Amino acid sequence: MTSSSESVRSYWLYTLLSLVGVVLFLMFKPEWFWVMLPPLLTYFVKGMRWM
């Protein structure tokens, strides 16, 4: 496995963890859910190899 595919896999893992964070923030602190949006969107873009 190349290091490129391993890094993309880690970006998808971070995306899923950030999504869980967004959902948890929406459940417990809805006014602060936007705090988790930058990592979610950044790792999504990196996982799709758009950046």
Q: Which amino acid is at 50?
A: W
Global pTM value: 0.85
pLDDT in tens, 1-51: 567 778 899 999 999 999 999 999 999 999 999 999 999 999 999 999 998
Give pLDDT, residue 4: 74
Give pLDDT, residue 5: 79
CA-to-CA distance for 25 and 45, rounded, in angstroms? 21
Kindly give, in sequence order, each residue whose CB lies less than 8 Å from that of residue 45, ignoring residues fewer than 6 positions away: 51
